[in-house]
Amino acid sequence: MDINATLIGQAIWFGVFIWITMKADRQKLIADGLAAGERGKHELELAGKRSADAMREAKEKAAEVISGADKRGAQLIEEAKLAAKVEADKVVAAAKAEIDQEVERARAALRERVAELAVAGAERILKREVDAKAHAEMLAALKQEL
């Protein structure tokens, strides 16, 4: 175990290796930094893509909603039209039926009066007998009354 100049040589080697390691370490740090930067860039890109995707999706959804609303509106209008038509038909039919009824009633009343008038005419004819003039007059009056 003799100490000699080898010691100095070893110290020099040691220094050289520390120096190399320091440089490599710094390079490693820089490389790590670059890698982190790259990762950040990549992530930004991804985020951009994701946001574009989200935007597109939202647009699609909005379009879908709008078209759905349009369809529903048209459907509602159609339904309302249909309902109105049905209602109008119903009203018209009811009015017609009422008119018919009224006419029928009037006719029935008329028929009744016709019978009465016939009976009254017959009475008068029987009372005046052969008075042609009066007869004709009476008939005319009857006609008038009809």
Partner 1 sequence: MASGEALTTSAYISHHLTNLKVGHGFWTVHLDTLLVSGILGLIVFLGMAILASKATSGVPAGWQNLVEMVLSFVDQQVKDTYHGKSALVTPLAITIFIWVFAMNAMDLIPVDFLPLGLGAAGVHYFKAVPTTDPNLTFGMSLTVFVIMIAMNFKVKGANGFMHEVFTVPFGAKLAPVNLLFRVIEDIAKPISLSLRLFGNMYAGEMVFILIALLGVWQLPLALPWALFHILIITLQAFVFMMLTIVYMSMASESHG
Q: Find the binding residues for partner 1 in span 14-33 (CB under 8 A).
A: 14-18, 20-25, 27-28, 31-32
- For partner 1, the closer of residues 23 and 111 by Cβ is 23
- Locate 15 and state its tokens: 């220094």
Nearer to partner 1, 24 or 83 (CB): 24
Number of residues that bind partner 1 (CB under 8 A): 31
Q: Dig out the tokens for 112 from the structure.
A: 């009744």
Q: How far apart are CA 32 and CA 14, in angstroms?
A: 26
Q: Is 3 in the site for partner 1 (CB under 8 A)?
A: yes
Tokens 């490599």 belong to residue: 24
34 binds partner 1 per the rule CB under 8 A = yes
Burial of 27 (0-12, 13-18, 19+ CB in 10 A): exposed
Does 45 sit near partner 1 (CB under 8 A)?
Answer: no
**Single-letter amino acid, residue 67:** S
- Please identify, among the stretches 4-12, 52-60, 77-85, 128-136, the one whose residues bind partner 1 according to the rule CB under 8 A: 4-12
* CA 14, chain centre distance (Å): 84
Per CB under 8 A, residues contacting partner 1 are: 1-11, 13-18, 20-25, 27-28, 31-32, 34-35, 38-39
